[in-house]
Amino acid sequence: MICYMETCLYYQLIVHFFNRRFEVDFILLAGYLKLIPVELIRAYGRSIFNIHPSLLPAFGGKGYYGMKVHKAVIASGARYISLKISMLSL
């Protein structure tokens, strides 16, 4: 396992806490925009999912991230969007 000391210990504690305290079947991330540590992906294999709206290509490009995208969708008057579900893996 290769990781930075401060993050490595933190994520090892999260995995330990999940395994000891809860019977975790899967982890669902809703529009999570940060890198997922390798330790968590290894610990939960194909049990981590990320969901987010599918707004490309209509609402994409330079500077379109976070709430700016959602504000642009609302301002456009769009009535429908789709949803993307991704399974995380290494």
Q: Just list the catalytic residues.
A: 52
> Considering only CA atoms, which of 30, 66, 34 is closest in space to residue 49?
30
- DSSP classification of residue 64: -
Segments of the chain assigned E as strands: 27-30, 48-54, 82-87
